[in-house]
Structure 1
Amino acid sequence: MYDDVMNQQRSIIYKQRREVLDGADVQDTIKNMMDSWITSSVEQACSADSPEDWNFDLIREQFQGMFTTDRDFRYTPAQ
């Protein structure tokens, strides 16, 4: 079972790698991957109803890891 999953993942990665090496336009694929990752990350950290309860430390950590940014993600209520 585990080996089957690993083989499927490996096949997908090698197929995508081959497409890149062959000069295929993978811009839409990359945009979709990033959109999916961002959506998942935000949903995970911001599942609470109140923005005061959102996990901005988690968002910052994930986005810094993905985008190598030092941007600060803090919630400031509108005045």
Structure 2
Amino acid sequence: VAAWCAAHKEEIELFFLPSYSQELNPDEFLNRQLKTNLRLKGPKSHDETLEHAKEITSTFKSEKTPIRACFTNESTLYAQAA
């Protein structure tokens, strides 16, 4: 990774965020989607919750739409690829 970064240093742009800025962090939007989906499935045992979480994250990875949606909020537009 370090070699790639060194070779592409002109293309890398850093964004320094406040220490706690969930509204600016696309990961927080994805976490919210995961938690909402888990809550909609109803209360389960710990093992069932983990299994549902694996299913949901697998769906996120395969469909890509939930992940892309995290970058469409006005507060996260800075993170979209140019």
Short-chain TM bin: 0.3 to 0.5
Q: TM-score, normalised by structure 2?
A: 0.32
Normalised TM-score (structure 1): 0.32
